[in-house]
A and B are shown apart, each in its own frame.
Chain A
């Protein structure tokens, strides 16, 4: 069973110093870190007693097992396959036998170089490409040296393959497991050379997902699957008005219900504790709560849009300003100007928000699926007034992340509930709570304008947008002195087109709603605006949208290549029936180049049928080709959901959508054929989790225009706006 790939919970304490020293002392395993290779090596040479502590990524057992601690969590994107591939390539082991362990909360060891531990931004493989390989190579070098010492030969006379060290001259072999005791006594090498790409045996090959069996046989464990002996179950009602509070609670009817154990009232939510989740939910329904609606009692979506449109008038952080585009455009009486709006969106990951906690007097344990384990643990520690070391956080597979699980509000709330429950309690939000109390993708207003030459091509392009800065809230240290949020302007300041004057500007306005990262972040907001506008310009110039773009890409081979190949693959230019159209979008974001073409029809009632999406992606060097294809398919379906249906609206301070009937996901019958071509490339790695979503939003909108002549200045597409005779 593939479940064996994942360590059983009882085994997951390898990080605890006591256990590790035990392993060290007995020589039962070799633990290798890489982040501070030099320091460790020096420590070992100096005879320090704990040379392998802190950054423990690779553990080799006396039983030949190889365990990799996963600094990046798996939420569908394939890191639990691609990162072990990187390790196995250099360690010379069978990748399918590598056991995986979720990293504990420890930003110093498992975090980014600047000490923050999270999975997001389409960065996992990009950031771990070298460290994972170095971890494997360093461990292999130590094992080779250990074998050489055992045989009293030079390490250069030996090599490693398939989990064994081989002595070239004699053919003698020693399995890694037999070498761990000796290897544990050796220092890690300071200089760790990596294989040339021409020697790759695993990187670039289609390796099957290591988590596939557990997820196919129902044994994979997500946060919501935590089973803690004696646990109770909680259902939560958050204040329906954003920013509101609990005024009073009448829980008499609730407490009389079967299975209900307690009612816990928080500042802005009420939790019912019961013997199972169903009893807890029934208990919630029976509560009579008076809410203090607070400052947002009258808030509506229209207010948010008006706020962001108004904010466009204020100066923002300027991310790019070549040739003073604003001045050029202002001086042009024939300038072209459009305003686009990006709607509020929810994440609606399939696994609803949940956390299980056991809060004791002087410690706490947490079980949840999180993209940011150290942040979640530290927040719980602050709320409970405990040192972080007293909080154990057990991460799990994520039933979808999409940015939602970068935030730990569920853990915050769970510990506040848990400290008033005697024993462990699992808090599961209903789908309604999950959608209505999301950390939303915020509303953004975009003003985009251009000055054109006499052939209809832009000589100046200005894109200014107003809305929240997720990065400034999440990690303010990332915002430079110029105030630029690099994620918010990705896909805006780095347009692939050759245009003499370009400007990109972000006027920050958080607004009253809690907002956050949503798959595609900046690019999934900027691309639909900019690529729709480029389409507007092409139409205005009377030029084919693909040819028009190609003409602006003379100096950008990679962009031109993906666009031209996508056009060929999608049979761009073929004659189409009435009300059928193809739309194109080009994207450079997350260091990845991508072109997509959407082929769709719109019936007289305005109903859209998407026939096919063609996607050509150049993300540089590819670690696992099938993962790239899967992420393109995934990103496209995710984006099409937003393009067709995605809209969170607010009335009287309340989110109006509640479940999958009114916050509709794309379904099987609506999912188009998707053709993906991955460009063979040795360029540096680009991200793949998010660009697919970003590009398809624009290609979709342009296809709707091609089919109907109607330009969508906001998504989703509304059938009533697209009616018309065939």
Chain B
């Protein structure tokens, strides 16, 4: 039994220690906002926050997560940075098929939580682990810049 704190709520998982968080979320908790893309930490579709840090949940065994705060896309809007990012995503009309966007938003939010004025190079570094096959990269970049300028991030 592994006890996890997901989006502020404790939850028990009767799973083997090595089961990656992604599958605990999707197959056990039926929280399907976090996506499976590659299973090797190569595409970022499964990105969640662990103690505020963007983390690939497909290669993250649940055994090491006890006592850590896990945040998924379903609770992204509970932080000012998350709200700013999601508002910018809507303003810039980022999404297309949308499958990768949970992961993109979690990566972008983590970036803005630690860096309120990201340069293009900072955006490249933070976002290049997130693949989008629809090619929304240009809008993601614009949206991150818009979110960085959001009043929501002032003093956050």
Same complex origin of A and B: yes
Q: A400-B133, A634-B135, A635-B135 are in contact. Are A217 and B73 (CB under 8 A)?
A: yes
- Complex interface: chain B residues within 8 A of A227 (CB): 30, 32
> Cβ of A400 and Cβ of B73 under 8 Å apart?
no
Closest beta carbon of chain B to A125's beta carbon, Å? 15
Q: A217-B86, A633-B139, A668-B128 are in contact. Are A352 and B36 (CB under 8 A)?
A: yes
Bound: A77/B138 CA distance, A: 16
- Complex interface: chain B residues within 8 A of A398 (CB): 97
* Cβ-defined partner of A397 (8 Å) among B74, B97, B135: B97
> Cβ of B131 and Cβ of A431 under 8 Å apart?
no
> Cβ of A673 and Cβ of B98 under 8 Å apart?
no
Bound: A673/B32 CA distance, A: 33
> Cβ of B39 and Cβ of A668 under 8 Å apart?
no
Give the contacts of B129-146 with A (CB-CB under 8 A).
129-141
> Cβ of B99 and Cβ of A351 under 8 Å apart?
yes
> Cβ of B95 and Cβ of A402 under 8 Å apart?
no
> Cβ of B123 and Cβ of A668 under 8 Å apart?
yes
- Complex interface: chain B residues within 8 A of A667 (CB): 128-129, 131, 137
Number of B interface residues at 8 Å Cβ cutoff, please give it.
59
Question: Does B19 make an interface contact (CB < 8 A)?
Answer: yes
> Cβ of B135 and Cβ of A277 under 8 Å apart?
no
> Cβ of B96 and Cβ of A78 under 8 Å apart?
yes
> Cβ of A402 and Cβ of B137 under 8 Å apart?
no
| A-contact 0/1 string along B1-34, CB 8 Å cutoff | 0000000000000011001100110111010111
Bound: A350/B133 CA distance, A: 6
Q: A400-B99, A428-B36 are in contact. Are A666 and B135 (CB under 8 A)?
A: yes
Closest beta carbon of chain A to B98's beta carbon, Å? 3
Question: Does B90 make an interface contact (CB < 8 A)?
Answer: yes
Closest beta carbon of chain B to A391's beta carbon, Å? 24
> Cβ of A212 and Cβ of B93 under 8 Å apart?
yes
> Cβ of B93 and Cβ of A626 under 8 Å apart?
yes
> Cβ of A431 and Cβ of B40 under 8 Å apart?
yes
Dominant secondary structure at the B interface: loop
Bound: A74/B98 CA distance, A: 10
Bound: A275/B132 CA distance, A: 30
Closest beta carbon of chain B to A274's beta carbon, Å? 9
Closest beta carbon of chain A to B61's beta carbon, Å? 10
Binds B, one of A151-159, A218-226, A551-559: A218-226
Bound: A402/B135 CA distance, A: 12
Q: A276-B27, A277-B26, A669-B128 are in contact. Are A431 and B39 (CB under 8 A)?
A: yes
> Cβ of A665 and Cβ of B133 under 8 Å apart?
yes
* Cβ-defined partner of B95 (8 Å) among A216, A352, A431, A636: A216
Bound: A667/B34 CA distance, A: 20
Q: A216-B86, A259-B16, A667-B131 are in contact. Are A637 and B137 (CB under 8 A)?
A: yes
Give the contacts of B105-135 with A (CB-CB under 8 A).
105, 123-125, 127-135
Which residue among A78, A212, A225, A402 has the maximum number of chain B CB atoms within 10 Å of its CB? Answer: A212
Give the contacts of A666-697 with B (CB-CB under 8 A).
666-669, 671, 673-674
| A-contact 0/1 string along B73-97, CB 8 Å cutoff | 1101100000000100110011111
Question: Does B52 make an interface contact (CB < 8 A)?
Answer: no
Give the contacts of A396-447 with B (CB-CB under 8 A).
397-402, 428, 430-431
Pairs of residues from A and B, 4 with the lowest C-beta to C-beta distance, nearest first: A637-B135, A218-B33, A215-B98, A399-B99
Binding site for B on A (CB under 8 A): 74-78, 208-209, 211-222, 224-225, 227, 233, 258-259, 275-279, 281, 348-352, 397-402, 428, 430-431, 626, 630, 633-638, 641, 659-661, 665-669, 671, 673-674
**28 sample A-B contacts, Cβ–Cβ < 8 Å, listed by A number:** A77-B96, A209-B93, A212-B95, A218-B102, A222-B98, A224-B32, A259-B16, A275-B27, A276-B23, A277-B27, A279-B16, A350-B97, A350-B132, A351-B35, A352-B36, A397-B98, A399-B99, A400-B134, A431-B37, A626-B93, A630-B96, A633-B136, A634-B134, A637-B134, A659-B39, A668-B123, A671-B137, A673-B138
Binding site for A on B (CB under 8 A): 15-16, 19-20, 23-24, 26-28, 30, 32-40, 42-43, 45, 72-74, 76-77, 86, 89-90, 93-102, 105, 123-125, 127-141
